[in-house]
Structure 1
Amino acid sequence: MMEILNWTAASEETRAAALARPVGIDTADAAARDIVDAIRDQGDAGVRAYAQRLDGYAPVSFRVPPDAIRDARAAMDPADAEAIKAAADAVRRFHIRQGYRNYSVETWPGVTASRRATPIDTAALYVPAGSAPLVSTLVMLAVPAQLAGVPRIVVVAPPSGAGGVNPALLAAADLLGLDEVYALGGAQAVAALAGGVAGLPRADKIFGPGNAYVAAAKAYVSSLPGGPAVDLPAGPSEVMVIADDQADPELVASDLLSQAEHDPSAQVMLVCFDGATATRVTAEVERLITGLSRADIARQALSASRALVCNSVDDAIEIANLYAPEHLILQAEASERLLAGVRHAGSIFVGAWTPEAAGDYAAGPNHTLPTAGAAKAHGGVSVESFQKTTTILRASRDGAAAMAPTVERLAALEQLDAHALAMRLRREKAGLVAPETGDQPRAGTRRRKTKETDVTVTVDLDRDGPIRISTGIGYFDHMLDQIARHGGFSLDVAVEGDLEIDGHHTIEDVCLTFGEALRDALGDKRGLGRFGFELPMDESRAAVWIDLSGRPFARFDGEIPGESVGEFPVEMTAHCFRSIAESLGAAIHVKVEGENAHHMVESCFKAFGRALRQALRIEGDALPSTKGVLA
C-alpha cells in the first residue's frame, strides 16, 4: 500500500513529489472561493442553499437548542463523560502557564511603555465531524479559549445527516460549559461566520482544522477587507514517523494507521534507514488495517503515502524539516539527536511509548496544529492564539524632553518634518512649565562610554523584573542577577566591552554605572531605611552594611582564595563594591568568611542584594539623616 522510495538515490524532482501533499489547498481553492463569494452576495439564502446541497441539512435555525445539548449530556455514558473531563483537565494543566502577560518598562526616565493583553471578543470553534465526531478537537479549542477569557465562544460543526450535530459533540460542549452550537459545516460555515449571516455571529477569529475546502475558505475570508482572523493553516491531518531498525514495526504501523484513518486526504510518511525496516513496517500496516472499522478510509490515505529510505540521521532531519509535518514521531535510538535537529514540526512525540494518539486526546499539548508544511512558520493553537496585545505609552514632561533629541534626529533622517515638529514643540514647552511634583518612579538609567567600554544600566527600584544582563562575563552576569533578584528590583545591563585582555575595565565600568543609576533612582532618598545584613552560603558567610545617606566609603574584609571564578577575577570582588560606593555616594561595608571562592564571591553579591532590599524600603517621608535610622 505504501510506496517505498530510496531517498538517497532519488532526484530532486522525485524527492519533491514524494513530499507533496495529496490534496493541496490550491485544489479546493476555487470551489471554496465560489462558496464564500456566493454567500457574501446572497447572505442567508446562500448559506441555506449550500447547507442543503452539501450537507442535506438546512433547518429554520442552525443553532442547536439548549435542551438538545443538555439531553445529549444526560444520555452520554458516564465513562465517556469522565474521559472527556479527564482529557480537558490535562489540557487545562498544560495550557494554564500560557498566555500573554501585562508588563511595563521605563524606556526613558519619565517614559513608561506598557503592554496589555486582552481576549478577542468572539471566537468561533470549527469542529470537524464528517465521518467521525472529533470531540477531542472541541476540548483542544475550548479550554485555551476559556483560559484566555474569551467572552463569547461559539461552536460550529457539520451535521450528521438529518439528525443535526453528533450527540457526542453536544454532550462534550455541555461538559465544557458551552451552550452556543451551530449545525453547519464546510466552507459555508466559514463564510457564515465571516459575514455574520444565517443566524450565526460574526466571528473575530475562526479556529479549528478541517478538510481542504475548510482550510481554503479560512484562508480566503481572512484575506478579505474586514474579514476575520484565523488561527493557522490546518487542513487534512498528517504524520511522519522516523524509525530505525530497533523500532517495533507493529507500534510504528499503528501510529501510521492512527492518522490514516482520519480522512481519505490524510497523509502518513515513514522515514527509515534501511529497506528491511520499511518492508517490515508496511507488512504490519497491511496486517493491522484489516481489523479497522475505517479501513477503507485508511487505505485511501495510504495510497498517497510514502516510506522513504535514507542513509543517516542527518538525512532524516533534512527530510523532516523539508516536510514540516503536523505530527512527528521519533522511534529511534537517536531520538534526542533527531529532536535537537528538527526545527519544523507542529508537535513531536519522542520514543516508542509516546504515540501521537496520546497527543490527540489526553496528554495535554494542543492537537490543533499547522499542516501542509505550515509548521515552518506557525505553531499550534495556544492561549495566546485567543489573545491580542495593546501597547500603552505614557510620557511625563521630563520624559518627553529627554527623548525629544533622539526622536527629532531620527525624524530628520527620514525627512518627516511633522514628526520632528511634534516632538520639538513638546521639548520647547517642557522648558516653560514648572517642574512636576508628586510621587515619581524610583528609576534611573545611566550610560558610561569610555575607550574600553560602552555601558548602559537601567534600574527600577519599585519593580521586581525584568532582569536582563549581558556584560560578556558569564559569572559577573550571574552576580549582578543575584543583586537584582535578592534586592527585589528591575535591572538592565548592556555592555560593549574590550574583553580581549581581561574583564577588569568592563567590571569596573559596570559597577560605576550601576552606582550612578542607583543614585538617580534614589533621588533625594526621602524615607529610606539603613541596616546590616548577613547571609550564610554553605561554608561561607557574608555580611553587608549599607548607609545610603552616608559619604562615599567602602571597606572589604576577607581573603578570597584563588585567582578567578570562571572569567571573573576574584580580586575584582572588593573593587566592585568600592566602585558602587563611589558612584552611588554610599557607605558600604562587606565582610566575608569561607573556604570556597565561588561561594564566597556569590555570598557577597547576594548579601549586598539583600542589604539593598532593606535599605531601599520606605519607612517614612522625612529626608534622610546620617544618624540612626533613615526615617
Structure 2
Amino acid sequence: MQYFRNIVYWNKLNSNNQKKILLRPILKTNYSIKNTVQKIIEDVKNKGDKALKKYSLLLDKYQDDTFQVLQENISRSSSDISRELKEAIVTAKNNITCFHEAQKPLKIDIETQIGVRCQQIHLPLNSIGIYIPSGIAPLFSTVLMLAIPAQIAGCKKIILCSPPPISKEVLYAAYICGIKKIFQIGGAQAIAALAFGTETIPKVDKIFGPGNTYVTEAKLQVSSIFNGPAIDMLAGPSELLVIADHFANPDFIAADLLSQAEHGISSQVILLTPSEDLAQRVIISINEQLKKLTRLSEILIALKHSTIIITEDLLQCAKISNIYAPEHLIIQTKSPRKILDYIFNASSIFLGSWSPESAGDYASGTNHVLPTYGKSLTNSALGLADFQKRVLVQELTSQGLINLSNTLEILSSAEKLEGHKNAVKVRIDFLKEKYNG
C-alpha cells in the first residue's frame, strides 16, 4: 500500500498555489481553551495551593499533601535507571555544556571618546521556571536543554514543574543538572503557579519549556499580564524541511522526514529537490519505512499536509526554504556548505548525510528549543543569552563630560527636553566655578 505520494512541481504552480503549498497546518483558535485557562490562572492566583490540589486531582488524578519531590527521591533516581541510559544522558549533558559554555559573551569595555567609558555586562536572571511536559515519553532531553544553559548563565533559582508522576528519567536529568526544587504539578495550573507563586511553589521571573495547547495558552496569558513573567517562546508543531540533490541517500531523507512527522498530527515535513528521480526513490522509501513505525496513524495525518516539491535547481530550493523559514533544515547535497551561504531563515540546520535531526534533538550539543511556524524569520534558537540580561554601564570623567557637554545640550534642546539639558549644565557650571574660582 502506498501511503504517501505528494509531489508538486514548483514552476508549474501559480503564485497563489506556491503560497498555499507552504502553509502550515491551521492552528484553530479555541475559545473554550482560552476561557478554561483563564479560569485556572485566576483560581491559582487567588487560591494558591488549594487550587493546585483541586486541578491536580481533577486533571491528573493525583492527590498528595505536597507537590515537592523529596531530595532523597531525586537522588535515588540515579539507581533507578540503567547504566547505559545514564551514560547516554551524561554524554548529551557534556556536549550541551560544551556548546553553551562557548556562548559566554565577550565583555565590552571601551572609551567611546576620551573620558567617556562605556561597558556592557551580562547578569543572570534571578529565578526561572522549567516546565517539562509528560505524555507518550518522558522528555528528559528538554531538562538538559533548559537546565544546562541556566546553570552556566548563573541563574540563582531554578524551579522545575512536570505532571505527576514525574518519570525517573526526568528526575535523573534534573539531578545531574543540580536542580533541587522539583514539583509534581502540570498543565496550565503549573504555569500559573510559576507565574504568581503559591504557598509551596515560588514565583519566577521567566518560564521556559514546551507543552500542550493549554500550557501554551497559559504561557501566552501570564506573559501578557502586567508584571507577569517573561516566557521563552510559544512552541508550535514540529517541522522539518530537507534540501537534497541527486547525490543524497533517499533512505536517509525518508527516515528524517518520518522522524519529524511522528511528533504529532500537526507536524509538517517538506522535501525540496531538483531531482525527480530522487523524489520518487524517497517516496518508495517512506512507504517502506512506514511499515516499521508504531505511530502510524499520527504520521499519516502529518503526511497529509506534507509534500515533496520539485524545483528548477538548488538555488531555488534555498529561496523556497527562506520563504518557509523552517524550524529544522537538513541540507543533504554534495556540497552542503555552499548551500548554507544562501540560507537566511532557519532555526537549526543540519549539514550532510551524517547529520540527522535526531542529533540536535538529543546530544550534538546545540539546543532543541526552537522557533516554529515561520518565526525563524526574526527569532533565534534558545541559548545562553535567554537566561541572561544585558546591562549597560557608563562612566564619564569631569573632562569627558566637558568634552561631550556641548553635544548633549544641543541634542536635548533639539528634542525640547530642558531638564536633560539642565542635568548637564548644572555640572558644567559647577566645574567652571571650581576651576575658575
- What's the TM-score once normalised by structure 2's chain length? 0.91
1:418 aligned partner, one-letter code: G
CA distance in 1, matches of 2:15, 2:212: 29
Matched, 1:179 2:188: no
Matches within 5 A, 1:19-30: 19-24=22-27, 27=29
Runs of 5+ unmatched residues, structure 1: 436-631
Compute the displacement of 1:33 (Å).
5.8
Deviation string for 1:286-337 (max 9, x for gaps)? Answer: 2112222333332332233222222222221122111111110011225223
Matched residue, 1:249: 250
The SS at the match of 1:330 is: strand
Matched residue, 1:144: 149
Matched residue, 2:396: 395
- 8 Å Cα contact 1:64/1:183 also seen in 2: yes
Q: Sort the Cα spacing of 1:425 and 1:29 in 2 relative to 1 into closer, same or farther, 3 A.
A: farther
Matches within 5 A, 1:28-107: 31-32=33-34, 34-43=36-45, 44=48, 45-107=50-112
Matched, 1:14 2:17: yes
Q: Sort the Cα spacing of 1:284 and 1:336 in 2 relative to 1 into closer, same or farther, 3 A.
A: same
Compute the displacement of 1:28 (Å).
5.2
Matched residue, 2:269: 268
- 8 Å Cα contact 1:76/1:168 also seen in 2: yes
CA distance in 1, matches of 2:311, 2:108: 48
The SS at the match of 1:156 is: strand
Matched residue, 2:318: 317
Compute the displacement of 1:30 (Å).
6.2
Matches within 5 A, 1:545-584: none
Q: Sort the Cα spacing of 1:28 and 1:20 in 2 relative to 1 into closer, same or farther, 3 A.
A: farther
Q: Sort the Cα spacing of 1:14 and 1:198 in 2 relative to 1 into closer, same or farther, 3 A.
A: farther
Compute the displacement of 1:186 (Å).
3.0
Of residues 388-397 and 180-189 in structure 1, the stretch that sits farther from structure 2 once superposed is 180-189
Compute the displacement of 1:180 (Å).
1.7
- 8 Å Cα contact 2:41/2:188 also seen in 1: no
Q: Sort the Cα spacing of 1:63 and 1:378 in 2 relative to 1 into closer, same or farther, 3 A.
A: same
Matched residue, 2:220: 219
CA distance in 2, matches of 1:21, 1:212: 16
The SS at the match of 1:118 is: strand
- 8 Å Cα contact 1:121/1:204 also seen in 2: yes
Matched residue, 1:119: 124
Deviation string for 1:325-372 (max 9, x for gaps)? Answer: 111001122522321111111110011111111111111111111111
Matched residue, 1:5: 8
Compute the displacement of 1:87 (Å).
0.8
The SS at the match of 2:265 is: coil
CA RMSD of aligned residues (A): 2.2
- 8 Å Cα contact 2:25/2:305 also seen in 1: yes
CA distance in 2, matches of 1:113, 1:332: 46
- 8 Å Cα contact 1:211/1:235 also seen in 2: no
Matched residue, 1:610: none
- 8 Å Cα contact 1:36/1:191 also seen in 2: no
- 8 Å Cα contact 1:270/1:307 also seen in 2: yes
- 8 Å Cα contact 1:36/1:221 also seen in 2: no
Q: Sort the Cα spacing of 1:287 and 1:84 in 2 relative to 1 into closer, same or farther, 3 A.
A: same
Matched residue, 1:339: 340
Compute the displacement of 1:48 (Å).
4.2
CA distance in 2, matches of 1:333, 1:141: 35
2:247 aligned partner, one-letter code: Q
CA distance in 1, matches of 2:38, 2:265: 24
Is the strand fraction higher in 1 or 2?
A: 1
Matched residue, 2:407: 406
CA distance in 1, matches of 2:332, 2:385: 31
Compute the displacement of 1:54 (Å).
3.8
Deviation string for 1:393-441 (max 9, x for gaps)? Answer: 2222222222110000001111111111111111111112249xxxxxx
Compute the displacement of 1:112 (Å).
1.9
- What's the TM-score once normalised by structure 1's chain length? 0.64
- 8 Å Cα contact 1:101/1:117 also seen in 2: no
Q: Sort the Cα spacing of 1:210 and 1:51 in 2 relative to 1 into closer, same or farther, 3 A.
A: same
User: For the pair shown, which has the larger CA radius of gyration, 1 or 2?
Assistant: 1
Q: Which has the higher contact order (CA 8 A, sep 6+)?
A: 2
- 8 Å Cα contact 1:212/1:235 also seen in 2: no
Of residues 101-110 and 45-54 in structure 1, the stretch that sits farther from structure 2 once superposed is 45-54
- 8 Å Cα contact 2:37/2:214 also seen in 1: no
1:8 aligned partner, one-letter code: N
Matches within 5 A, 1:422-433: 422-433=423-434
CA distance in 2, matches of 1:29, 1:314: 42
CA distance in 1, matches of 2:274, 2:149: 39
Compute the displacement of 1:198 (Å).
6.6
Of residues 198-207 and 212-221 in structure 1, the stretch that sits farther from structure 2 once superposed is 212-221
CA distance in 1, matches of 2:116, 2:20: 55
Matched residue, 2:417: 416
Runs of 5+ unmatched residues, structure 2: none
Matched residue, 1:525: none
CA distance in 1, matches of 2:15, 2:200: 51
- 8 Å Cα contact 2:112/2:118 also seen in 1: yes
Q: Percent of aligned pairs with the same residue?
A: 36
CA distance in 2, matches of 1:328, 1:67: 42
CA distance in 1, matches of 2:43, 2:98: 44
2:345 aligned partner, one-letter code: H
CA distance in 2, matches of 1:87, 1:183: 25
CA distance in 1, matches of 2:293, 2:157: 39
2:33 aligned partner, one-letter code: A
CA distance in 1, matches of 2:383, 2:157: 17
2:85 aligned partner, one-letter code: D
CA distance in 1, matches of 2:21, 2:279: 15
CA distance in 1, matches of 2:180, 2:305: 39
